[in-house]
């Protein structure tokens, strides 16, 4: 075997090792269909994850007071512990769409690995259980059945994406990471959100009331509103995702 043949073998070997141990993950993008230019300042979708923990009432109050609609991705864990916030969201069905962030906040990755330190579901059955238990939690909390799913960490194995689509859910990627997992400072968070353009889908968190990022979320949203941007929920607009997440 020549040198080229040997290196091809080496490449093939390393690829197969990678796919056996750590399947390549994807972090899908979601955007809204562009709006006609004449219809104003554009539209963005604000999506907020409620992974676990508590409720950032700075954000929740700002959304209600300023009538900013949002899609909230909630887990079964968060729903159980935040009944008061859920009640406020349910009292404003024109503002809040509640969608599925999984039963236990376990990444929708069907091979065993860690993502940002969180252990993945690890098998197709475990991905399915995470998705279905999240949907069941929303229904038993009295809401309509969710149509969108976003997995913990927003990373997926392609085979998990195919399975979640078969279960009937669209998968919510994003185009602007507003708060860097709620770990960014207020100023940087506000800057990222305020920079949103027509068609962007923003992700941030509504479950970290002690983090500075939450203050930046509010500032960024108010800046967008002042610019004349329209906010829509995912069910109100046509979202177009890559990696087979919406088609």
Q: Is residue 172 close enough to count as binding Zn ion by CB under 5 A?
A: no
Quote the least distance from Cβ 246 to Zn ion, whole Å. 20
Which CB sits closer to Zn ion, 51 or 163? 51
Size of the site for Zn ion (CB under 5 A): 3
Q: Is residue 171 close enough to count as binding Zn ion by CB under 5 A?
A: no
Quote the least distance from Cβ 21 to Zn ion, whole Å. 24
The residue at minimum Cβ distance from Zn ion is 51
Q: Per the structure block, which two tokens stand in for 126?
A: 């475990």
Quote the least distance from Cβ 152 to Zn ion, whole Å. 5
Pick left, alpha or beta for residue 81 (phi over 0 → left; psi -120 to 50 → alpha; otherwise beta).
Answer: alpha
Q: Is residue 196 close enough to count as binding Zn ion by CB under 5 A?
A: no
Quote the least distance from Cβ 100 to Zn ion, whole Å. 11
Q: Is residue 198 close enough to count as binding Zn ion by CB under 5 A?
A: no
Which CB sits closer to Zn ion, 141 or 222? 141
Neighbours of 104 (CB within 10 A): 16
Degrees (nearest 5) of the Cα angle 154, 158, 163?
90
Only one of the segments 20-28, 43-51, 120-128, 162-170 lies at the binding site for Zn ion (rule: CB under 5 A); that segment is 43-51
Q: CA–CA separation, 41 vs 232, rounded Å?
A: 13
Q: Is residue 179 close enough to count as binding Zn ion by CB under 5 A?
A: no
Which CB sits closer to Zn ion, 49 or 200? 49
Positions in 2-41 near Zn ion (CB under 5 A): none
Give me the 135-154 binding string for Zn ion, x by CB under 5 A, dash otherwise. -----------------x--
Q: Is residue 99 close enough to count as binding Zn ion by CB under 5 A?
A: no
Which CB sits closer to Zn ion, 150 or 192? 150
Q: CA–CA separation, 49 vs 152, rounded Å?
A: 9
Q: CA–CA separation, 81 vs 90, rounded Å?
A: 15
Q: CA–CA separation, 48 vs 203, rounded Å?
A: 6
3-state SS, residue 136:
helix
Q: CA–CA separation, 90 vs 96, rounded Å?
A: 7
Q: CA–CA separation, 234 vs 247, rounded Å?
A: 15
Quote the least distance from Cβ 106 to Zn ion, whole Å. 10
Q: Is residue 49 close enough to count as binding Zn ion by CB under 5 A?
A: yes
Quote the least distance from Cβ 187 to Zn ion, whole Å. 23
Q: Is residue 51 close enough to count as binding Zn ion by CB under 5 A?
A: yes
Pick left, alpha or beta for residue 14 (phi over 0 → left; psi -120 to 50 → alpha; otherwise beta).
Answer: alpha
**Cβ-Cβ contacts under 8 Å for 100 (sequence gap 6 or more):** 73, 74, 131, 134, 135, 138, 146, 148, 149, 150, 169
Applying CB under 5 A, the residues found at the interface with Zn ion are: 49, 51, 152
């Amino acid at each position: 075997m020549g040198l080229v043949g040997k290196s091809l073998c080496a490449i093939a070997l390393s690829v197969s090792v990678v796919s056996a141990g750590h399947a390549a993950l994807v972090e899908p993008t979601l955007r809204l269909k562009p709006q006609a230019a004449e219809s104003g300042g554009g539209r963005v979708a604000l999506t907020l994850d409620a992974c676990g923990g508590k409720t950032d009432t700075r954000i929740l109050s700002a959304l209600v007071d300023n009538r900013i609609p949002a899609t909230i991705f909630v887990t079964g864990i968060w729903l159980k512990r935040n009944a008061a916030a859920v009640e406020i969201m349910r009292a404003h069905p024109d503002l809040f769409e509640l969608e599925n962030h999984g039963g236990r906040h376990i990444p929708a990755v069907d091979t065993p690995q860690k993502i940002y330190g969180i252990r993945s579901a690890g098998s197709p059955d475990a991905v399915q259980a995470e998705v279905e238990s999240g949907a069941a939690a929303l229904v038993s909390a009295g809401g309509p059945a969710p149509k969108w799913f976003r997995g913990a960490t927003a990373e997926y194995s392609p085979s998990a994406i195919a399975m979640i689509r078969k279960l009937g859910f669209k998968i919510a990627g994003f185009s602007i990471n507003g708060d860097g997992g709620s770990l960014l400072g207020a100023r940087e968070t506000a800057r990222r959100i305020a920079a949103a353009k027509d068609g962007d889908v923003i992700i941030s968190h509504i479950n970290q009331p002690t983090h500075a990022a939450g203050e930046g979320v509010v500032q960024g949203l108010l800046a967008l509103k002042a610019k004349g941007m329209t906010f829509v929920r995912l069910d109100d607009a046509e979202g177009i995702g890559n990696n087979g997440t919406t088609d």
